């Protein structure tokens, strides 16, 4: 949550450390401004030059075709393969034997893949997929723990022109079924389980449950053995990863695809009950993630770079896999929890693997603060040279702690603003160039044109809050919502004419620095994970006892936002607060939501009410509920309330 102190203390500035700036790709603010200016004046030349650094089997003829806006085509007519650029391109250089993926499992097992080895494994699994009947244009779902095979499977799909859709391993069987059916996957790649906080997360069992519920497009399930857990087996459908790759060749030529060929579909929460499949295509996404990785993380050949996001989220796609590999970097991956076996696991691994760049989320930083300074202070963190954050606004206190206790006051911090839809970082400091202010994502990257506007699309004065929009298309932008181009157009390009609507509120200060305030739509951000309030409401009303539900976020010190659900039960199912029945029902509903969506969506609190406050037209007054959930006095106009007594009753419960 952006809080008032962040706004009041914006005079605190940290200049890029001189030693850092001297070696950086962009070493001062003047160089940034020059690049930014060029990107505005000649955007085609600007993006075209960056794209030229990649291998294209057929050159593009036009940088951007925006004639069918908001449906963009980037690097029009070009053909390439992203894995050729992430892998093969490095094999003729000294990077051939450089570590591409350095991985540590939660139990402490370590695996290392050089670029040559990763190339071989990707080719092998690509051939296995082909043998299983996957060809260009098919979609495969990956539902896996954070193991190297997840990255290998993504790259293998891309190598043969198949589209991947990764589903975060924390989602439930129901969520898997819905996503698989929406994208029409032919194959699911999963594992028996993954390790999390010493426990086994049973992934294959969830896939079995999803398939039992009905996923008619799925023909085969590939199962990696990670935890050696017994799982049910459907002969003819299920195949062990080891058997799938047995005997296949380790040579597989990359299949050239059109620049606009879909690389992946990634589901994210929106303002309706149904998650949307954000579609990213090949050429623009490759250019966007590679360019931003290099600039924002200032990647150098001797870096050990660690983005701690799970690959199930967009951050893992862009900044664990594609961005770093396109730059020939060493990307570190960790399977498990930050506090297993002890709260110093991360610091131990940073010291052990000499990690030099560390990218995490504000919620994690706040958890580290809570666990205490003693944990990081026991370890040698001197290998670190750069820190990053993403996913939610960072409160200045956490920013300062991160700088002092993890960065030793020596590492610049990049607070990176972007979204699943943007594909790549949009607003962020360049660590060798941009002075930082704790709590601000600072300035747009070259080529990106954000603005804070009012509801009519007019720029608001400096310092005033408004809607954050992006004025011009950019290469890694989403192309559509899978199967629903109308929703794409309506949701992102119709709210403010001619601009991309981010759904975030922001303000811009006199230096042109952006301060992101958080979502202004019905999306909440819990521990850096996006959840749609409607999605949780749909899950709740699917329970037989629930008549109606309204879900709102409330400020949470650790997670940024917590989830509060106001629930009206069906006639005859009402519970009394006094006899423990309410508690029991609340627990049941919380578990129900976790089962329907996943543990991340489990409400923190359920409040039962006889009715929900509504306007005369029947709209639930979420703002009021949000005030109640946060214990704030009711603000704003309530005269349209259908029944003011509903509100009074909810407040009374508060005071009991």
The footprint of ligand WTA (CB under 6 A) covers: 268, 313-315, 390-393, 415-420, 441, 502-504, 516, 518-519, 525, 530
Is the Cβ of residue 316 or residue 613 nearer to ligand WTA in the bound state? 316
The least CB distance from residue 67 to ligand WTA, in Å, is 28
Judged by beta carbon, residue 207 or residue 531, the one nearer ligand WTA is: 531
At 331, is the secondary structure helix, strand, or coil?
A: strand
Of 530 and 590, nearer to ligand WTA (C-beta) is 530
What crossing angle do the helices spanning 115-131 and 148-159 adopt, rounded to 10°? 60
Compute the least distance from the CB of residue 518 to ligand WTA, in Å: 6
Name the minimum Å distance from CB 537 to ligand WTA. Answer: 20
Crossing angle between the packed helical segments 282-296 and 43-51, to the nearest 10 degrees? 90
Q: Name the token pair of 355.
A: 């990690």
Q: Is 184 helix (H, G, I), strand (E, B) or coil?
A: coil
Q: Cα–Cα distances in Å, from 458 out to 69, 192, 453, 524?
A: 21, 53, 5, 26
Cβ 504 to ligand WTA, closest distance in Å?
5
Shortest Å distance, C-beta 517 to ligand WTA = 8
Class of residue 326 by CB neighbours under 10 A (exposed 0-12, middle 13-18, buried 19+): buried
- CB of residue 460 vs ligand WTA: minimum separation in angstroms? 18
Residue 6 near residue 515, CB atoms below 8 Å: yes
Cβ atoms 438, 37 nearer than 8 A: no
We find the least distance from the C-beta atom of residue 634 to ligand WTA, in angstroms, to be 25
> Largest Cα–Cα distance in the chain?
74
Q: Tell me whether residue 473 or residue 532 sits nearer to ligand WTA (CB atom).
A: 532
Give the three-state DSSP class for 116. helix
Contact 223, 204 (CB under 8 A): yes
* Partners of 565 in the β-ladder: 551, 606
The backbone torsions φ and ψ at residue 523, rounded to the nearest 5 degrees and listed phi first, read: -115, 135
Q: How far is residue 248's CA from residue 598's CA, in Å, rounded to a whole number?
A: 36
Q: Which residue is nearest to ligand WTA (CB)?
A: 420
* Residue 138 token pair: 């098919």
User: In this complex, which beta carbon is closest to ligand WTA, that of residue 390 or of residue 499?
Assistant: 390
Q: State which residue, 283 or 518, has the beta carbon closest to ligand WTA.
A: 518
List CB contacts of 244: < 8 A, sequence separation 6 or more: 125, 128, 131, 132, 222
Closer to ligand WTA by CB, 43 or 169: give it.
169
- The helix (H) or strand (E) run that includes residue 447 is none
CB 69 → ligand WTA: shortest distance, Å? 22
Which CB atom, from 4 or from 374, has the smaller least distance to ligand WTA? 4
Q: In the complex, what is the shortest distance from the CB of residue 278 to ligand WTA, in angstroms, rounded to a whole number?
A: 8
- Least distance in angstroms from the C-beta of 419 to ligand WTA: 4
Q: Return the number of the residue (313 or 467) whose C-beta is nearest ligand WTA.
A: 313
Quickly count: other Cβ atoms within 10 Å of residue 656's Cβ. Answer: 5
Minimum distance, C-beta of residue 266 to ligand WTA, in the bound complex (Å): 9
CA 109 from chain centre, in angstroms, equals 26
| Backbone phi, psi, residue 354, to 5° | 55, 50
Q: With respect to ligand WTA, which residue has the nearer C-beta, 259 or 360?
A: 360
**Pairing, β 560-569 against β 546-556:** antiparallel
| Contact of 100 with 114, CB cutoff 8 Å | yes
Distance CA 451, CA 470 (A): 6
For ligand WTA, the closer CB: 191 or 563 = 563
Q: Alpha helices, DSSP H only, in 297-445?
A: 314-316, 323-326, 345-353, 362-371, 374-377, 396-401
């Amino acid at each position: 949550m952006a809080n008032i102190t962040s706004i009041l203390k914006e005079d605190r500035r940290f200049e890029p450390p001189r030693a850092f700036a001297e070696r950086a790709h962009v070493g001062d603010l003047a160089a940034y401004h020059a690049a930014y200016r060029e990107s505005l004046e000649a955007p085609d030349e600007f993006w075209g030059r960056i794209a030229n650094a990649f291998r294209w089997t057929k050159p593009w003829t036009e940088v951007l075709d925006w004639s069918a806006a908001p449906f963009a085509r980037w690097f029009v007519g070009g053909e390439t393969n992203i894995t050729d650029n992430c892998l093969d391109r490095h094999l003729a250089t000294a990077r051939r034997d450089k570590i591409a993926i350095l991985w540590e499992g939660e139990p402490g097992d370590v695996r290392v893949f050089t670029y040559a080895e990763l190339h071989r494994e990707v080719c092998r699994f690509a051939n296995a997929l082909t043998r299983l009947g996957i060809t260009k244009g098919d979609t495969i779902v990956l539902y896996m723990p954070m193991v190297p095979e997840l990255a290998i499977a993504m790259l293998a799909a891309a190598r043969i022109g198949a589209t991947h859709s990764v589903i975060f391993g924390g989602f439930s069987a129901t969520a898997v079924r819905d996503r698989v059916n929406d994208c029409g996957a032919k194959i699911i790649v999963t594992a028996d389980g993954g390790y999390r906080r010493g426990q086994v997360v049973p992934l294959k069992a969830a896939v079995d449950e999803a398939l039992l519920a009905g996923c008619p497009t799925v023909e085969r399930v590939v199962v990696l053995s990670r935890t050696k857990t017994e799982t049910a087996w459907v002969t003819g459908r299920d195949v062990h990863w080891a058997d799938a790759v047995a005997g296949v060749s380790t040579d597989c030529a990359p299949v050239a695809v059109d620049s606009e060929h879909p690389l992946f579909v990634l589901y994210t929460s929106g303002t309706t009950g149904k998650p949307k499949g954000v579609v990213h295509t090949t050429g623009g996404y490759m250019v966007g993630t590679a360019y931003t990785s290099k600039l924002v993380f200032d990647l150098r050949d001797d870096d050990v770079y660690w983005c701690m996001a799970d690959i199930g989220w967009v951050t893992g796609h862009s900044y664990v896999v594609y961005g770093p590999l396109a730059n020939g970097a060493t990307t570190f991956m960790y399977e498990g929890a930050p506090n297993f076996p002890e709260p110093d696991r991360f610091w131990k691994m940073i010291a052990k693997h000499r990690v030099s760049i560390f990218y995490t989320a504000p919620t994690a930083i706040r958890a580290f603060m809570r666990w205490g300074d003693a944990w990081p202070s026991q370890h040698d963190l001197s290998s670190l040279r750069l820190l990053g954050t993403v996913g939610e606004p960072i409160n200045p206190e956490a920013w300062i702690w991160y700088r002092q206790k993890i960065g030793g006051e020596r590492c610049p911090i990049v607070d990176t603003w972007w979204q699943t839809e943007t594909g790549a970082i949009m607003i962020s400091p360049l660590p060798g160039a941009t002075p930082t202010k704790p709590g601000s994502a600072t300035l747009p990257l070259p080529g990106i044109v954000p603005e804070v506007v009012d509801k009519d699309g007019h720029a608001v004065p400096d310092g005033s809050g408004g809607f954050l929009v992006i004025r011009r298309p950019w290469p890694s932008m989403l192309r559509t919502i899978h199967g629903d181009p109308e929703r794409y157009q309506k949701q992102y390009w119709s709210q403010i004419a001619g601009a991309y609507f981010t759904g975030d509120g922001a303000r811009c200060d006199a230096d042109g620095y952006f301060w992101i305030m958080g979502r202004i739509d019905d999306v909440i951000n819990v521990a850096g994970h996006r959840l749609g309030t409607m999605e949780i409401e749909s899950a709740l009303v699917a329970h037989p006892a629930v008549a109606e539900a309204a879900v709102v976020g409330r400020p949470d010190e650790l997670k940024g936002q917590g989830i509060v659900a106001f629930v009206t039960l069906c006639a005859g199912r009402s519970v009394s607060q006094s006899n423990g029945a309410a508690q029991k029902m609340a627990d049941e509903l919380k578990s129900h939501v976790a089962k329907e969506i996943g543990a991340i969506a489990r409400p923190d609190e359920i409040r039962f009410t006889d009715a929900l406050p509504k306007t005369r037209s029947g709209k639930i007054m979420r703002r009021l509920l949000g005030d109640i959930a946060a214990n704030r006095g009711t603000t704003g106009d309530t005269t349209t309330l259908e029944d003011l007594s509903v509100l009074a009753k909810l407040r009374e419960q508060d005071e009991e």
